[in-house]
Amino acid sequence: MSRHRAHEPEDDETTTFPRVADAAPTADAASITSVLPVFPADATTVLPVITPATAPPPSRPDASPSPAAPVSPAAQFGQVAADETTQLPRITDQTVPPPRIARPAPAVASGRAVATDETGLLGAIPPAPPPSAEDEAKPSPRPRWSGEPPPAPVKAIRAGEKNYRSIHSEYTRTTVGSVIRTTLRGTGELMITFGLVILLFAGYEVWGKTAIVDAHQTELEQQLNWDEPVVGPTPSASASPLAPLPGNAVAKLYLPTLKKHWVVVQGVTQKDIRFAPGHYPNSAMPGQKGNFSVAGHRNRATFWNLDQLKPGDKMVVETKTTFYVYEVVKQRIVLPTAVEVVRAVPPTMEAGKLITLTTCNPKLDNYQRLIIHGKLVDEQPRSEGRPVELAGMS
């Protein structure tokens, strides 16, 4: 397919649909610019010829109107005459250049961002502005450490001809109010410290001593050795047992009502009863006729809740061979000087096989004594097992 340049005027650059020419060629047919080649009458058309039904095709302004020509039979069956041409839109040789982006004028360095050019992706970094006279007059900042001693934090002002004083002297001078405030502040700090010491001591008495006593009770239970076989001659029943040494284990004391039990040691000195109840050396032994007297501290680990024992409650003493069951008879409070409560027959008590427990009263003090009296009601050999009063106790 060939393309020819058009020489018609500018107003001829329009889209002209195909038209059917007259049977005889005219002189104007040769001047029509053809966009597609002319096919002979017997050739097959490549593009179909669309024949307008009513309106005639547009013509040039200078052409005279011609009478309507009959449609040839060849055009009715899709064939094109030898001089017929199909005119498509005219393509001019003028090219449209792409729009040009004007280059902006360079910005003056003023501390603001500079506009980008056609190829820049980010704004150009402006140069640093020149130092002004005001900036040059400012002194350079002092480094953190220059080797020189720091300046005096407090300035002095003149007070008289030869004296100087601090500018804060009005706020730091000694007055009656400042002395009172300092005294109250020191007293408050001292009382807070004293209160903390008291709290620490109370915590030690409640929890610290309990742990220490429990540890020593375990060691005392190992000293009894009641389950080991006896090596050597067996002592006769008539022979009186030897008194244990001070601090050694004597027996076990159970208080089923309080769910407590301890190993009782020999002696009632502060050293002896530090971690366990102590047996008065001049009193009777467990199960003997007389008064088996025991003393203990009023702390959480020992006789703290001894006041909860009431008449009728049971107390059990375990020795190497026998369980002795006592029953509470009386509870009373006496002065520390009332030593008659540990005699063989205490006041208001009848002679027999008795037991007496003593401790301080009230709690955390010792200006009184709490006394528990009891009498023997049952005996049971250890070979028969534990008595029913100890059911549920470890």
Asked whether the CA dihedral 300, 304, 310, 314 is positive or negative, the reply is positive
Please name which of 307, 300, 294, 311 lies closest in space to residue 362, comparing C-alpha atoms: 307
- DSSP structure string for 113-171: PBPP-SS-SSPBPPPPPPP-HHHHHSPPPPPS--SSPPPPSS-EEE-SSS-EEETTHHH
Residue 111 CA to residue 360 CA, distance in Å, equals 90
- Beta bridge partner(s), residue 158: 164
Please name which of 266, 260, 174, 256 lies closest in space to residue 220, comparing C-alpha atoms: 266
Of the listed 168, 279, 297, 373, which one is catalytic? 297
- Beta bridge partner(s), residue 327: 314, 375
Residue 300 CA to residue 213 CA, distance in Å, equals 10
Distance of CA 319 to the CA centre of its chain: 57
Residue 278 CA to residue 265 CA, distance in Å, equals 5
Asked whether the CA dihedral 337, 343, 349, 355 is positive or negative, the reply is positive
**Would you give the DSSP letter of residue 224?**
H
Burial zone of 11 (CB within 10 Å; 0-12 exposed, 13-18 middle, 19+ buried): exposed
Of the listed 4, 7, 360, 373, which one is catalytic? 360
Residue 293 CA to residue 371 CA, distance in Å, equals 10
Task: Establish whether 216 is a catalytic residue.
Answer: no
Return the HEC string of 288-324.
Answer: CCEEEEEECCCCCCCCCCHHHCCCCCEEEEECCCEEE
Q: How distant, in Å, are the alpha carbons of 164, 201, 240 from that of 289? A: 93, 42, 13
Q: Which residues does the annotation mark as catalytic?
A: 297, 360
